[in-house]
Structure 1
Amino acid sequence: MQLDKARERWPGVGGIELHQADALTYLGGTFTIFDAVCSVFGAAWFTDPALLLPVVRASLKPGGVFAFSQRPPVEGCYGCQASYIPRGPDEDPAVVNRWDYEPDAWALILKGHGFVDVSVSVLAPPSGSRHMGTLFVRSIQGG
């Protein structure tokens, strides 16, 4: 669904490739080297950084950009957190892990995996919104 929306929004944009797959499987199995890897409320939030960051770094050209966004962490809830997603009345909830860190912790994690020029900020939600804002991260593959 999100892939279809992206294709509708950016039809015929030269040089852009859109992919939908498990990030670890896709990046670990491709020989393509990317200028940028982006995760919008996706793989960077729901994949253990110790597994994801080496694969992303290996998939980027030197100086390539890794950018991602997700919700900011709830105060005091850092690291791997479990989310319980309700399903049908006769089914147990689905358990989905996500990785939540404060901005300074994300910066250290990325630098520890060879990324440089790391910037992490929390963008405020729109005025009058009840949402929490967005944690936005941008980093460069350190070569």
Structure 2
Amino acid sequence: MTSATPAAPAPDLWHHYGRSRARTDRTVPERLFWTWGQDSGPGAEILGDLTGARVIDLGAGSGRQAAHLAVHHRVDHIDAVDASAAQHAMARDLYGHLTPRLRLIHADVTDHLRASPAAYDLAYSLFGAACFTDPAVLLPAAAVALRPGGQLVVATLAHYLTGRPPAADLRAADIPAKQPDGTAATMPRWVLDTHVWTKALDNAGFTSITAEQLPAAAPGHLGANTLLLRAIRRTDLAPPGDWCADQEARTGQAC
């Protein structure tokens, strides 16, 4: 009798990201920026009063933004979720001492959302999972995890870093990445036009959708404009356990 050989785990394409900064900067940021350059624009005030809020950071990376909210705002707790083992380990090293208000979770973001019905008042992705996960999959899962009336905030690129316009339909482009051993690789990134995001959010069960383009403070690679999206989870969605059926009924597409 033979058994199948287990598939090798996918390489962690975030292994190298943020390591240089982590070696020299272990501080909790004094403020939160939504812009790509992390140097201008609005801050956490756009989220409103966070007193007692249950918050989730979708694709938290090293956890810097989540740490800011845990320290400088009176949240009940914030879950910083990331699928990368390397990023999760970095976050634990930098900010593990902030538990239990900051909860660092190593998990696939979509899986975690689906397993957490109505668990959060606020979900946000600051150049995180919303950029690197199919919105047709991620956004309905976020609707499941938010309480009725809960808020979703997404900061994403308004255009490609090359200056190319955003995609006019729901498709990703492959961008360069690096495996842990330094081998070149690619990963998908969703850089979408405003109307594509708006439709995806509406299909996923969100309302009161707003989109604002935040200009870069300086030209160059760090000068990319930011698209800031905000939306409210509808109050009339099907029960969380039926979210796939609800999604299929409204869009005609199986989840």
TM-score bracket for this pair, using the shorter chain length = 0.7 to 0.9
Listed as ranges, the gaps of 5+ residues in structure 2 are 1-60, 83-107, 236-255
Structure with a larger share of its residues in strand: 1
The structure showing larger relative contact order (alpha-carbon pairs under 8 Å, at least 6 residues apart) is: 1
Aligned counterpart for 1:16 among listed residues 48, 54, 77? 77
- Cα RMSD over matched residues? 2.4
**1:53-68 mapped onto 2 (5 Å cutoff):** 53-68=139-154
* Equivalence for 1:7: 67
Deviations 1:15-66 (A, max 9, x none): 1313223211221223452101000000111000111111100111111101
Task: For 1:11 and 1:55, locate their aligned partners in 2 and report how far apart those are by CA, in whole Å.
Answer: 27
**Equivalent-residue separation in structure 2 for 1:10 and 1:24 (angstroms):** 22
Aligned residue number for residue 80 of structure 1: 172
Aligned ranges 1:31-110 → 2 under 5 Å? 31=117, 33-74=119-160, 75-78=164-167, 79-86=171-178, 91=183, 93-110=184-201
**Stretches of 4+ aligned residues off by more than 6 angstroms:** none
Q: CA deviation at 1:77?
A: 4.8
Give CA deviations for 1:62-112 in whole Å, capped at 9, x if unaligned: 111011111112344512111112458872x22211111111221111112
Count of aligned pairs between the two proteins: 141
What percent of counterpart residues are identical? 23
Give the TM-score of the pair, scaled to structure 2.
Answer: 0.50
TM superposition score normalised by structure 1: 0.84
Contact 1:36 1:64 in 2 (8 A): yes
Instruction: Tell me how far 1:7 sits from its aligned partner.
Output: 2.3
